[in-house]
């Protein structure tokens, strides 16, 4: 990475492309590395940065990036250097410090790397990229500096968010155009259905639902309601943690990718795990999307379709204020009845009752209009990568 400055003797400011190191620890699931990989690709592809990603679990990463070789300690994928961060003290085979250092989700940089940052002639811009929250306090803490207790270094807190004054959320420049092209092409959609499910697109009167969720006790009731619904429901289920519930409902030994089943007015297709661009197409082809965590939550908003969020559960229900904060933003202009129905459904899906599909579905036209309007509102906050690079340029002059 030619733009990565050595520990000493670095120039006063980056002479070429800005070099960026992103450190990511995979806690569980795919959210952390999913966000980091999207950010890395956008910084490199849209902003011309030279990016290196340190990640501690290459096997999980490979699910999102099939061209990655998990046995290799260092490799380049899509112009981005990937380093296997194989222990907390590890900082690459050659210790180099970038112009911008992103500590994703408080994963803690290697001590040797922090010491090298302090020795650098020009201190790098150090970000702590936080988890997404829609709570009001986020805007107050976004871009606040935090001095290091031992070194002459400042860490800047970068908060993704849904409102003004935050870092926004990730969105590629060509995402809207790609969605419009897909939605405007019956051939593209038909090809997707044949490739993903082995079937032709469903009839026009069917409601297509994608289901991506953590384990959820409410799913059994929802499957029964879809089975008994007045109109057909076509369920698209990415293989994962919810698959066992589908297998039990359809009385199958498993519901692995390629499985198909029908009961009453519900037909379901199990989908293979897909890399990130493939997941966007799933959201676009569906009428309503169940999403979880952070990355799929953001992608559902850009899909401009109604969605239901399964927030990552935390001890003592600490996640519920975050759920309500997101609802407050998203439902702000909905008619009162539609807003109440969506709030009830989101809370039920997050372990606070039984979801009522008929109650939610009767408000679908209003929810659809709001989803499209919300995507436009959210875009006004700016995308996360663009906001981060704009701030970085002011600091690296």
CA dist list (Å): 32 to 56, 107, 113, 132, 333: 11, 10, 21, 11, 31
Q: Select from 283, 301, 299, 297 the least CA-distant residue to 350.
A: 297
CA 195 – CA 338 distance, rounded (Å): 35
Q: Select from 305, 302, 249 the least CA-distant residue to 276.
A: 302
Task: Kindly name the residue from 56, 103, 239, 294 that is annotated as catalytic.
Answer: 294
Q: Which residues contact 48 (CB under 8 A, 6 or more apart)?
A: 17, 18
Query: Is 294 among the residues known to form the active site?
Result: yes
Q: Select from 396, 360, 76, 49 the least CA-distant residue to 233.
A: 360
Q: Select from 283, 55, 366, 31 the least CA-distant residue to 169.
A: 31
Residue pair 271/237 in contact (Cβ under 8 Å)? The answer is: yes
CA 140 – CA 336 distance, rounded (Å): 30
Query: Is 359 among the residues known to form the active site?
Result: no
Task: Kindly name the residue from 21, 32, 135, 172 that is annotated as catalytic.
Answer: 32
Burial 152-161, CB ≥16 within 10 A → b, else e? ebebbbbbbb
Return the active site residues.
32, 294
């Amino acid at each position: 990475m030619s733009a990565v400055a050595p520990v000493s003797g670095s120039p006063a400011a980056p002479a070429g492309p800005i070099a960026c190191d992103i450190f990511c620890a995979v806690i569980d699931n795919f959210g952390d590395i999913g966000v980091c990989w999207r950010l890395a690709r956008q910084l490199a592809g849209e902003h011309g940065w030279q990016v290196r990603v340190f990640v501690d679990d290459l096997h999980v990463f490979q699910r999102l990036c099939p061209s990655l070789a998990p046995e290799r300690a260092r490799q380049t994928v899509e112009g981005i250097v990937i380093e296997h961060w194989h222990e907390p003290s590890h900082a690459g085979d050659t210790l180099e410090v970038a112009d911008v250092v992103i500590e994703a989700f408080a994963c803690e940089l290697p001590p040797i790397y922090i010491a090298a940052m302090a020795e650098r002639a020009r201190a790098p811009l150090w970000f702590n990229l936080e988890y997404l929250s829609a709570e009001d306090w986020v805007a107050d803490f976004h871009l606040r500096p935090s001095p290091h207790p031992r070194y002459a270094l400042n860490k800047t807190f970068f908060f993704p968010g849904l409102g003004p004054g935050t870092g926004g959320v990730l969105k590629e420049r060509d995402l809207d155009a790609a969605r419009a092209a897909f939605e405007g092409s019956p051939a593209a959609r038909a090809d997707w259905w044949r490739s993903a499910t082995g079937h032709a697109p469903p009839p026009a009167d069917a409601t297509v639902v994608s289901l991506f969720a953590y384990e959820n006790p409410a799913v059994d009731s929802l499957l029964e309601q879809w089975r008994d619904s007045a109109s057909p429901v076509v369920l698209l289920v990415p293989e994962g943690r919810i698959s066992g519930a589908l297998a039990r409902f359809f009385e199958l030994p498993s519901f692995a990718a390629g499985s198909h089943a029908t009961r009453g007015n519900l037909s379901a297709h199990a989908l293979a795990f897909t890399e990130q661009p493939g997941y966007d197409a799933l959201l676009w082809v569906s009428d309503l999307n169940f999403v979880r965590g952070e990355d799929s939550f953001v992608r559902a908003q850009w899909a401009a379709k109604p969605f239901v969020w399964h927030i990552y559960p935390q001890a003592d229900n600490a996640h519920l204020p975050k759920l309500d904060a997101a609802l407050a933003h998203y439902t702000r202009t909905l008619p009162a009845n539609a807003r109440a129905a969506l709030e009830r459904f989101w809370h039920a899906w997050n372990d606070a009752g039984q979801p009522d599909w008929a109650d939610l579905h009767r408000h679908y036209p209003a929810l659809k209009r709001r989803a499209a309007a919300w995507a436009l509102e959210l875009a006004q906050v700016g995308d996360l990568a663009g906001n981060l690079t704009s701030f970085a340029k002011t600091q690296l002059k």
